[in-house]
């Protein structure tokens, strides 16, 4: 597995990471813990060194899973986790209240360290921008954690350019984690140029469009009642039917490259910038191996032009989030 550096920080990770959320949360019932521990360890054996979790996934159970699975390999892996929510008593903390008060950030760091079975968090992201707390205060709190040796690197998730600049001025950012894929390209306009200017790495989440770009989901696919995709406008049957055009495009190029649509989608992201590290999630070993295979696929300038030309003619249907959730993404 090739390595990449996230921005100017010299934080070196595998070119493709592993998003662990879906093992515990978000896409139907939590999976079997022992099976997921085996999968995480299989990822390490295959060269993945970058693992993404958050306190809110579960809540808490995903950090515990990742911590236990990676404990034997702690020195050779990079663990990223996130703060910024006030977990709900109902158990689903995903869209509970935001809370990035400095004292709360420090409490979360201590609790995450315990769950992750480690004495340092490699990369600590603010999960969502909190309009109630100046980003300078957030950056200052993480700076203190860095000075105390509890955190190595600071990141933001779903932040816009003004927030990025203001945070970076207080404590340099190592990475930004925003959604980015062939079917959600908003970061290209302002975010990517800003990251390049400031020397900040980019970690796209949902790089396979929450599974849609794999080609394994169509208008007739049904999801478990607890699956987050049920409430996403982009996943209505009508939207899926329209958006199939994008998967068909990936499929055509995949055939020529003797690859899969998922591998082309990931290879396309890797080809955008040398400091981009996607974190596809999976709960299946064969999917993990398929995703890893994307790192070896070379897309030529002609391939990229062809994808760009064809994709520009396709209008993706459906918003990525319902409005009340989209409002929690920062600017």
Domain count, the chain: 1
Catalytic member of 57, 125, 205, 321: 57
Q: Please, what's the b/e burial string for 125-135 (b: 16 or more CB within 10 A of its CB; e: otherwise)? A: bbbbbbeebeb
pLDDT at 247: 95
Other residues' Cβ atoms within 10 Å of the Cβ of residue 70: 24
Element containing residue 151 per DSSP (H, E)? strand 151-157
Burial degree of 271 (CB within 10 A; 0-12, 13-18, 19+): middle
Is 197 contained in some domain?
yes
Alpha helices in the chain (DSSP H): 33-45, 61-70, 102-115, 135-147, 161-170, 191-198, 237-257, 261-272, 285-293, 301-311, 323-326
In contact, 150 and 113? CB cutoff 8 Å: yes
Q: Please, what's the b/e burial string for 278-290 (b: 16 or more CB within 10 A of its CB; e: otherwise)? A: bbbbbbeeebbeb
Is 221 contained in some domain?
no
d(Cα 110, Cα 119) in Å, to the nearest integer? 9
57 given a catalytic annotation: yes
CATH number at residue 122: 3.20.20.100
d(Cα 277, Cα 279) in Å, to the nearest integer? 7
Is 263 contained in some domain?
no
DSSP tag of 7 = G
Element containing residue 80 per DSSP (H, E)? strand 78-83
d(Cα 217, Cα 227) in Å, to the nearest integer? 14
Is 148 contained in some domain?
yes
Other residues' Cβ atoms within 10 Å of the Cβ of residue 161: 18
> What's the average pLDDT block by block, 10 residues per block, for the chain (331 residues)?
94 98 95 98 98 94 98 98 81 69 97 98 97 98 98 98 98 98 96 98 98 96 94 96 95 96 98 98 98 97 95 94 80 63
d(Cα 59, Cα 92) in Å, to the nearest integer? 7
Residue 114 CB contacts under 8 Å (≥ 6 apart), including other chains: none
**Phi, then psi, of 264 in degrees rounded to 5:** -65, -40
Alpha helices in 46-190 (DSSP H): 61-70, 102-115, 135-147, 161-170
- How many residues does the structure list for the chain? 331
Is 151 contained in some domain?
yes
d(Cα 289, Cα 33) in Å, to the nearest integer? 20
In contact, 55 and 63? CB cutoff 8 Å: yes
Q: Which domain holds residue 156?
A: 3-209+272-297
Is 62 contained in some domain?
yes
Is 147 contained in some domain?
yes
To 10 degrees, what angle do helices 261-272 and 237-257 make?
Answer: 80
CA torsion, ordered 98, 99, 100, 101, to nearest 10 deg: 150
In contact, 283 and 23? CB cutoff 8 Å: yes
pLDDT at 93: 44
To 10 degrees, what angle do helices 33-45 and 285-293 make?
Answer: 30
Is 314 contained in some domain?
no
């Amino acid at each position: 597995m090739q390595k990449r550096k996230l921005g100017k920080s010299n934080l070196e990770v595998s070119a493709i990471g592993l998003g662990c959320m879906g093992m515990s949360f978000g896409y139907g019932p939590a999976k079997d813990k022992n099976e997921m521990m085996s999968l995480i360890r299989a990822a390490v054996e295959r060269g993945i060194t970058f693992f993404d979790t958050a306190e809110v996934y579960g809540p808490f159970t995903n950090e515990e899973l990742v911590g236990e699975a990676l404990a034997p390999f702690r020195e050779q892996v990079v663990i990223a986790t996130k703060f910024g929510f006030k977990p709900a008593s109902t158990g689903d903390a995903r869209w509970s209240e935001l809370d990035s008060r400095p004292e709360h950030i420090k409490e979360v760091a201590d609790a995450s360290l315990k769950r992750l079975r480690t004495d340092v968090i490699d990369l600590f992201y603010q999960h969502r921008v909190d309009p109630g707390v100046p980003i300078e205060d957030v950056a200052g709190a993480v700076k203190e954690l860095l000075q105390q040796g509890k955190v190595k690197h600071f990141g933001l998730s779903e932040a816009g350019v003004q927030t990025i600049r203001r945070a970076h001025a207080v404590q340099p950012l190592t990475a930004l984690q925003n959604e980015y894929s062939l079917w959600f390209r908003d970061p290209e306009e302002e975010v990517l140029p800003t990251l390049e200017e400031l020397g900040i790495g980019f970690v796209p989440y949902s790089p396979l469009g929450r599974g849609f770009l794999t080609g394994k989901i169509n208008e007739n696919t049904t999801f478990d009642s607890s699956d987050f995709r049920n409430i996403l406008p982009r996943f209505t049957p009508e939207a899926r039917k329209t958006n199939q055009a994008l998967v068909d495009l990936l499929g055509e190029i995949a055939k020529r490259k003797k690859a899969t649509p998922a591998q082309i989608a990931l290879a396309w992201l890797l080809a955008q910038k040398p400091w981009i590290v996607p974190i596809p999630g999976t709960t299946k070993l064969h999917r993990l191996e398929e995703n890893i295979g994307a790192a070896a696929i070379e897309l030529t300038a002609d391939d990229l032009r062809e994808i760009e030309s064809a994709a520009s003619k396709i209008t993706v249907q459906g918003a990525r989030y319902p409005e009340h959730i989209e409002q929690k993404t920062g600017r």
